[in-house]
Structure 1
């Protein structure tokens, strides 16, 4: 299974801007840029999108693992806080913190924590941080 998204950037780092789109059309030329990333300006940014992806992926993984344990959640609400920090001469995404509140009939706190920890490790977006990133490049004239 392969899913596609793309970004188009025009201009310099601080004065330029770009758009982000997905093959499903959920994001269609969504604006992003320096101000959205570093100054809380309008638009989105990579860290926000990673946070949304991590929260969604984790929630789905948790639902799956709860179901495998005979539990069906009524609601799982996950917030992800992704940290971008200056490290050395550049920036790094250093953390993603998940805050989870769930309503699961028949579950106790200990079982919930056990399954949530398994979902945190097993979620494909959690594993992304260790992924092999490949690339091909082409310069247009």
Structure 2
């Protein structure tokens, strides 16, 4: 199981570029006995240097990474607690902030797009297009 956070700051969403040449939400593997909100807070800080406040669950789905590797993904809406710069960890090639209308053209699992759209809607930010 992997928990991910949709982090929107100043109208832009934070995405990380991974080794599969996909953009993804920050987050990671839930450890045995770990609370999912604690996990997503920890993982986002480790991957980006950002402190966040975790909000509601947005979505969950099974993601087929490759043959023999399937992961249950749970996404949370997150509030960013400061405007510090992103510090990219060694786990990713790049981190960038994207406007909502840019997300549709990015290579990423569709579940991430759904979660981003949902969080923008809940925040009262305009939909792309």
TM-score of Structure 1 vs Structure 2, range by shorter chain: under 0.3
Give the TM-score, by structure 1 length: 0.23
> Which has the larger Rg?
1
RCO (CA 8 Å, sep 6+): is it higher in 1 or 2? Answer: 2
Give the TM-score, by structure 2 length: 0.24
Higher helix share: 1
